[in-house]
């Protein structure tokens, strides 16, 4: 087992560190069509993991998203959960941003059961990114969140 230094691969996610405000269009049952979220992405456990603490301003929603390097699979591993009972895990497709995109695939568990997910980050510039979240419904991918996130200077 390795200990000590932060994996060099975590530098790929350094762009995400900081405080963000996201304007989101949401098309999931029971959620507002438009939402705003604020959150801070910060290193934890000596920089081996980055944690995004997200607060929804439109509802009493709090989500935690944690990403780290998985040396066994040579990709990033993500775990997420919220205060409404949703949770899941994702793994990056590849080990770095490709054409400004970093894509994750995985599984989310809802109150209705298990669904496949795609979570794709698109880097717009040094101070903004988009986060597009899809679920698989009846063998078709449906986009359920489009978030436009902007760095806040604090």
pLDDT of 2 > 60? The answer is: no
pLDDT band at 154 (very low <50, low <70, confident <90, very high): low
Pair type for strands 128-137 and 113-125: antiparallel
Summarised one tens digit per residue, pLDDT across range 3-12 is 678 999 999 9
pTM: 0.89
DSSP tally for the chain: helices H, then strands E? 0, 10
> 8-152: what fold?
Lipocalin (2.40.128)
d(CA 63, CA 121): 17
pLDDT band at 61 (very low <50, low <70, confident <90, very high): confident
- What is the structure's pLDDT at 96? 87
Mean pLDDT of all residues in 66-85:
95
Q: Is the dihedral of CA 72, 73, 76, 80 positive or negative?
A: negative
Q: Could you tell me the residue ranges of all domains in the chain?
A: 8-152
Mean pLDDT of all residues in 38-47:
96
Summarised one tens digit per residue, pLDDT across range 93-142 is 988 899 999 999 999 998 889 999 999 999 999 999 999 999 998 999 99
Which H or E element spans position 25? strand 18-26
Query: Is 58 or 65 the better-scoring residue by pLDDT?
Result: 65
């Amino acid at each position: 087992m390795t200990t000590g230094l932060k994996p060099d691969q975590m530098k790929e996610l350094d762009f995400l560190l900081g405080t963000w405000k996201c304007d989101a269009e949401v098309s999931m049952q029971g959620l507002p069509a438009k939402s705003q979220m604020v959150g801070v992405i910060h290193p934890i456990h000596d920089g081996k993991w980055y944690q995004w603490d997200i607060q929804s301003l439109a509802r009493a929603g709090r989500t935690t998203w944690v990403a780290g390097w998985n040396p066994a699979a040579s990709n990033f591993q993500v775990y997420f959960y919220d205060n409404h009972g949703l949770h899941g895990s994702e793994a990056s497709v590849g080990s770095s941003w490709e054409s400004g995109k970093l894509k994750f695939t995985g599984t989310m568990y809802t109150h209705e059961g298990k669904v496949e997910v795609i979570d794709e980050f698109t880097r717009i510039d040094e101070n903004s990114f988009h986060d597009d979240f899809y679920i698989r419904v009846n063998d078709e991918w449906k986009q359920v969140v489009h978030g436009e996130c902007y760095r806040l200077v604090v």
